[in-house]
A and B are shown apart, each in its own frame.
Chain A
Amino acid sequence: MEHETTQTHAHGSVKSYVTGFALSIVLTIIPIVLVLSHALAGKPLIVTIVLLAVLQFLIQLFFFMHVREGEQPRYNVMALILGCVIVFTIVAGSMWIMSFNAAVQ
C-alpha cells in the first residue's frame, strides 16, 4: 500500500518532464525523416539511428526514470547494470547469431 498517497516526495518537475518529452519526440522524428526523405542510406543511416536511440535512452533515464534520485541509489545502480547487461546481450547476441545470414547469402 502506498503510504504517501498525497505525493509528498515529488519526483521531478513539470518542466523536466516536458523537456524530456520534447527531446524524446524530436529524437524520434529525426530518424523517421531521415528514412522517409532518403537523406542518408546504408551504414551512415544505421549508425545515426543507433546513436539517436542511445541518446534517447539516456534522456529517458534522466528525465523519466530519475536514476540520480531516491533514497537508495544502490538499487538503481544494480538494476541499471543488469539492464545494460541484458540490453547488450540482446543486441550483441542477435548480431552474432544472425550474422550467419550474411555468410549464407
Chain B
Amino acid sequence: MNLAFSAEEKAFAEEVRGFIADNLPAPMAAREAMGFHAERARVAEWQRILNRRGWAAPSWPVEHGGTGWTPVQRYIFERECGLANAPEVNLISLSMVGPVLCRFGSPALRERFLEPILRSDAWFCQGFSEPEAGSDLASLRTRAVRDGNDYVVDGHKIWTTDGHVADFMICLARTDPEARPQAGLSMIILPMDDRGVTVRPIRTLDGDHHINEVFLDGVRVPAGNLIGEPNTGWTQAKYLLAHERTHNAYMGMLCRYVARIPGLVDAEEAAGLPAGQAEALRRRHARLAIDVEALEWSVLRVLAAEPGARAAASASALSVRGARCLLRAADLELAVLGPQAVPRFGPDDGPPLPAGATAAAPGRTTQYLYWWAATIFGGSDEIQRGIIWNAVFR
C-alpha cells in the first residue's frame, strides 16, 4: 500500500494550476462560475487553448494526440480545471468518440476525425437514447440498413445534448434486426447537416436549451462511417460509457462548490444574514466538505484500480454519491442566498433585478435544477444500484 500523492503528482498539479492561471480567460471563468451551460463557441475557445498545450485529449493514446498521463494525473487535471472555473470540455467528442475511434475505428476514420476533434473543428453529439429506449438502451429501434456502399439510417433520437450545434452524431443503430437486442447494434457516424436530419430543441427545467430531439429520415452515409465490424456496437458503447468511469463523481465541480461557499456565507452574513444561521450553514458546508473528501478518495481508489471484485461497484457508487453531493452543494448555495434565489435569470440578463441582491445569485437555481439530471443521465441511480447489487451481493 502507498497512500500518498507522489512528488511528481504534486508537481504536476502545480504545473496544471499555473497553466490555467496563465491561460484561462477571466471573462470565460466568470461566466462559467455562474453556472449556465457553456455554448459551443466558448467551450471550443478553451479547448483550442488546451490543444495548443497538447492537453485537449488526456484520455487518448499518445500516438493519436493524447497526453500519456496516468489516470491519477488525468483526475488531477480534471479537478484543477473544475476548481479554476474552466468550462467543461465537449466530453462526447474528446472522452467518448475519440477513444472509441482510437480503439475500434479504421485508419480512414481516425485520419478524418481525430485531428479535427482536437482542433475543435469537428463537434459530436451522442445519439443513443430514443423515446422508447432509455435505461433499456439495447431496445433501441433506429435502423441502419446496408444499401450498396452506403448505410441508410432511419429513426428517432432524443435527449441529444448539443444536437443543435454538433457537426456529427455518433449514432447507435440496429444493423441486424434478427439478432438478440445487444448483438445487432452498430455505431455509425452521421453528418448533422444531412438533408435527412431534423433537430428540434427541447427546453429543460433549468431554463436552458442544450438537449434536442433528432429525427433521422433516410440519412445516407458511406459504409466506412460504421465503426469497426457491423454488429459490434454494444461492445463499443460499453467501452465508451466506461471510459471515464470516475467522471460522474463530478469532483471538479464539487471542489469548486466546496471552495466558494464559505466566501458566500461570509458575504451574506456581512449583508445581514443572522449569525446563528450563518453558523448553521457553515456546519452544513463542513459536513459536505467531509463527504467530498471521502468521495475524492473513492475516485482515487477506482483510478488506482484497488484490487477486488468491487471495482465496478465502486465506480457506480461514485456516480450515485456524485449526483447526491452536487444537489446538496447547490441546495446549500440556495440556502445561503435565501430569497435572492427566487428570480429567474438567464445568462445574459445583466445584474440581479431585486435591489441589493448579490451578483452571486444568477445561475445558482439553474445549476441546482441541472443536478437533478445528473441522477438520470449516464446510467440513472437505479441502474447504478442494480450494477452494485450484481457486482457485490448477488
Q: Do these two chains interact?
A: no
- Residue ranges of B at the interface with A (Cβ–Cβ < 8 Å): none
Q: Which residues of A contact B (CB under 8 A)?
A: none
